[in-house]
Amino acid sequence: MSQIRIQAPLSDTMIEKLTVGQKVLISGHIFTARDAAHKLMVELLQRGEELPIDLQGQIIYYVGPTPAKPGQVIGSAGPTTSGRMDAYTPMLLEKGLKGIIGKGNRSEKVRQALQNHNAVYFAAVGGSAALLAQCIKKAEVVAYEHLGTEAIRKLEVEDFPVIVVNDAHGGDLYSEGKAKYRRITLPLGS
Amino acid sequence: MRNIDAGEITRAVEKLCMEANYDLGADVRENMKKALEQEDSPVGREVLEQLLKNAEIAQTNRVPICQDTGMAIVFLEVGSEVHIDGDLTEAINEGVKNGYEQGYLRKSVVNDPVFGRINTGDNTPPIIHTEIVPGDSLKITLLPKGFGGENMSAIKMMVPADGLAGVKNFILETVDKAGPNPCPPVTVGVGIGGSFEKAAFLAKKALLRPVGSHHPQPEVARLEEELLAAINGLGIGPQGLGGRTTALAVHIETYPTHIGSMPVAVNFNCNAARHKEVIL
């Protein structure tokens, strides 16, 4: 498997180099947000107000970590299902968001918006939250503290492992991967 | 009559909450290792390796395997000769509350599904299913249910004319549609028969069986095998990134049903297939 190291926030030239199926190790700063924070951010945008964070070139990681044990930077921190954020994502891409880390299918509308905005969707391995937490070196709540696990955090990550699912060129690993290994046709007996 | 103190139940539930979230079951680990040997996809193998490595980290450091430490689903088998000293529901609530707090587990329950959606702050209430059985012991099984898989579950009130082919296709289509979302390789729980709620209950209960175990009825066991092979031919693979390991197991539970119906429910457990039991 080809593997590449990148630095966050992302530059446009870096994004263009990323292709479906690549393993990517991310270092630098990323933000966390999931359902509740997305809802609040999009409500701000709809009222014409400013977001609590500048999304220009940034990566958002869909995660709601477990509480940190004493001595830990953050608790277990794996990706949550991305599809729930589909309704909000295009508006955030318009504000300069360049990368998303999550797991699971995106809607056609989101995939199109990723391409239009030269942005990329990465999958982290769902269920590997203890391992992923070890790649997080610092964590700080920067907005919506009242949301608890759903607050927006700024993370400093080092070699955080992800795989490119939707690149800026329209590729989609979920459909390509499935087609490559598919051996049956549904419905059976048809 | 045998007396069981409510405090003992609370302590047992506390422990189950933590252990189920920290320790990948031996059954799951074994099946995942087997899957790793058989996986053709390089990305798929990498995912399985990462999951096994994660399990080691979680177990050694006593931290959750997954950040979605779930809504606690508790199955009770209460012996008819057991007397509980205290309030059983309260004892379990208290156990969940303590277990999630002391175990540094995520509190993922909101007070109302539609209005408010305020986090209850202690992961209560759990969902409790109680069965009265013969004997003088109390069996508690805890399933910390992540909702990535839960949200992809489905039920269909099929009719006799749909036949076995209809049942198979509904299950396969449900898994196919779920794709990467329930964090494959999944365990697929299937409930067939009974009524609307019975089929759903059986699908959930099927997830409590050791991963890869078979139904005692030979034709049901064969159907489990056949569906597992078909599911692993869908191409979804580990994390949905393509490959042959989409499911580690298919568990089917059945129940008699009405002459005019054939309900089928499909419930997913994620790759960690968490569940833990204790007998008091």
Give the count of alpha carbons within 13 A of A141, CB side only: 14
Candidates B17, B29, B39, B54: best to mutate against A (most CBs of A within 10 A) is B54
Q: Name every chain A residue with its beta carbon within 8 A of the beta carbon of B169.
A: 186-188
Q: Do A174 and B179 touch (CB under 8 A)?
A: yes
pLDDT in 10s for each residue of chain B, 280 residues: 999 999 999 999 999 999 999 999 999 999 999 999 999 999 999 999 999 999 999 999 999 999 999 999 999 999 999 999 999 999 999 999 999 999 999 999 999 999 989 999 999 999 999 999 999 999 999 999 999 999 999 999 999 999 999 999 999 999 999 999 999 999 999 999 999 999 999 999 999 999 999 999 999 999 999 999 999 999 999 999 999 999 999 999 999 999 999 999 999 999 999 999 999 9
Integer angstrom CA distances of residue B84 from B3, B10, B97, B129, B141:
6, 12, 20, 16, 17
Q: Do the Cβ atoms of B280 and B8 come closer than 8 Å? A: yes
Closest-CA distance of chain A to residue B124, Å: 16
Of the candidates B179, B188, B152, which has an alpha carbon nearest to the alpha carbon of residue B238?
A: B179
Count how many Cα atoms sit within 13 Å of the Cα of residue A96 in the half-sphere of its side chain. 11
ipTM: 0.95
| pLDDT for A104 beyond 60 | yes
| DSSP type of residue B122 | S
Please give the model's pTM, rounded to 2 decimal places: 0.96
Contact partners, residue B202, CB within 8 Å, separation at least 6 = B189, B190, B191, B192, B193, B194, B253, B254, B255, B265
Q: What is the model's pLDDT at position B116?
A: 87
Average pLDDT over residues A104-112: 97
Q: Do A66 and B106 touch (CB under 8 A)?
A: yes
Query: In the block, which residue shows the tokens 């204790």?
Result: B278
User: Between β-strands A152-166 and A23-32, what pairing exists: parallel, antiparallel or unpaired?
Assistant: antiparallel
Per-residue b or e along B153-174, where b marks 16 or more CB atoms closer than 10 Å to that residue's CB:
bbbbebeeeeeeebbbbbbbbb
**A129: its two tokens:** 């939250």
The closest of B105, B192, B210, B111 to B156, measured between CA atoms, is B192
Contacts of B273 in chain A (CB under 8 A): none
Contact B51 A69 (CB under 8 A): no
Q: What confidence tens digit (pLDDT) does each residue in A37-92 have? A: 999 999 999 999 999 999 999 999 999 999 999 999 999 999 999 999 999 999 99
Distance CA(B72)–CA(B70), nearest Å, equals 6
Q: What are the φ and ψ backbone dihedral angles of B92, each rounded to 5 degrees? A: -70, -45
C-alpha to C-alpha distance for A142 and A162, rounded to whole angstroms: 24
Region A141-146: mean pLDDT is 97
Cβ-defined contact of B179 to A105 (cutoff 8 Å): yes
Measured between beta carbons, the chain B residues lying within 8 angstroms of A188 are: 165, 168-169, 172, 230
Task: State residue B110's pLDDT score.
Answer: 95
Answer whether B190's CB lies under 8 Å from B266's CB.
Answer: yes
- The band of A190, judged by pLDDT with boundaries at 50, 70 and 90, is low
Q: What is the pLDDT of residue A189?
A: 79
Kindly report the three-state secondary structure assignment for every residue of chain A: CCEEEEEECCCHHHHHHCCCCCEEEEEEEEEECCHHHHHHHHHHHHCCCCCCCCCCCCEEECCCCCCCCCCCCCCCCCCCEHHHHCCCHHHHHHCCCCEEEEECCCCHHHHHHHHHCCCEEEECCCCCHHHHHCCEEEEEEEECHHHHHHCEEEEEEEEEEEEEEECCCCCEHHHHHHHHHCCCCCCCCC
* Phi/psi at A76 (5° precision): -60, 140
Q: Which residues of A touch B271 (CB under 8 A)?
A: 126-127
Using alpha carbons only, how large is chain A's radius of gyration in Å? Answer: 17
What pLDDT, in 10s, does the model give residues B31-49? 999 999 999 999 999 999 9
Whether the CB-CB separation of B129 and B73 falls below 8 Å is answered with: yes
> Which residue does chain B place closest to A176, by CA atoms?
B242
Instruction: Write out the H or E segment, with its range, that includes residue B8.
Output: helix B6-22
Distance from CA of B178 to the nearest CA of A (A): 9
Q: How far apart are CA A58 and CA B111, in angstroms?
A: 33
Amino acid letter, B180: P
Residue ranges and CATH numbers for the domains of chain A are 3-181 (3.20.130.10)
Parallel, antiparallel, or unpaired for β B138-145 and B154-158? unpaired
CA B235 to chain A, closest CA, distance in angstroms equals 4
Residue-range domain boundaries for chain B: 2-20+65-145, 148-273
User: Please, what's the b/e burial string for B213-241 (b: 16 or more CB within 10 A of its CB; e: otherwise)?
Assistant: ebbeeeebeebbeebbebbbbbbbbbbbb
